Amino acid sequence: MRPRHTAHRGTVGPGVSTTDHVPDDVPVDVPVEPDLPRSVLGLQRMSPRDQLRAGRLPHRLVQLFIGLTIFGLSMAMLIRAGLGMIPWDVFHYGVATHVPLSFGTIAIIVALFVLLLWIPLREMPGLGTVANAIWVGVSADIGLALFSEPEPLVLQILMMVAGIVLNAFATAMYIGAQLGPGPRDGLMTGLAHRTRFSVRAIRTCIEIAVVAVGWLLGGVVGVGTVIFALSIGPLTQAFLPPLVVKVNPPTA
């Protein structure tokens, strides 16, 4: 059993403080500000096994998969809007332009590779982690098949804004299901737990790297990329409280 994390000073996503405790199983964008503690949110520190034994599992599974589906669809909306992609999607899209695989397939492959990096960090994926790695890519491909590129700029802007807001809502849904963090979130928190760097610093470095490589490969960086980076934390924080499913972790 690895030691629990005590505290990080800094931020966890844009506008989110980490002056409170950030446990191992909490995704990067979970708000843990002093005025909104985990006890108020209802988020629990749980092992992957306890996540499945904490009650209300059917409700949580439905919420998880609805959230992951909306997450993938929102990724597709931002791609079709053409004004800039989510940081990791810049990389996914750039790779997809050079290989005979769909965007969603590339996203799945990258997510599974990131999960392999959890092994030396001794992170334990939950059911939601594995579902995130696979189903988001599937949903993104479905969205790319459903959505077309809007022609007038105003429709591009509306699609971009809708994609960002839906992505934050979807993030809050899968976090609130309390079935494990996403693969990339777990990598960032795992590195933070085992280095002297904050989650914010590690997240910034990783996302700058994937954006730079993705852009060189042909991914689209634009105003949407910047707006997403600045707004996803506050938006997720706003959506999260009513979406946290109250559970009762087993005591033994």
Q: What is the pLDDT of residue 28?
A: 44
Judge contact between 220 and 90, C-beta under 8 A: yes
Phi and psi, residue 83, nearest 5°: -110, 15
Measured CA to CA, the distance from residue 71 to residue 245 in angstroms comes to 18
Tens digits of residue pLDDT in 20-73: 444 444 444 444 333 344 444 567 778 888 888 888 899 999 999 999 999 999
Across the chain, how many H-helices and E-strands are there? Answer: 10, 0
∠ Cα 20 124 177 (to 5°)? 65
Averaged pLDDT in 10-residue chunks for the chain of 252 residues: 42 38 43 41 76 87 96 97 94 95 96 91 87 96 95 95 96 90 85 82 88 94 93 90 86 66
Judge contact between 67 and 177, C-beta under 8 A: yes
Q: What is the pLDDT of residue 199?
A: 77
Q: What is the pLDDT of residue 101?
A: 96
The helix/strand/coil state of 17 is strand
Q: What is the pLDDT of residue 7?
A: 41
Q: What is the pTM of this model?
A: 0.81
In the 8-state DSSP scheme, what is residue 56? Answer: -
Tens digits of residue pLDDT in 220-239: 999 999 999 989 888 988 99
Q: What is the pLDDT of residue 19?
A: 37
* CB atoms closer than 10 angstroms to residue 208: 11
Phi and psi, residue 17, nearest 5°: -85, 150
Beta strands in the chain (DSSP E): none
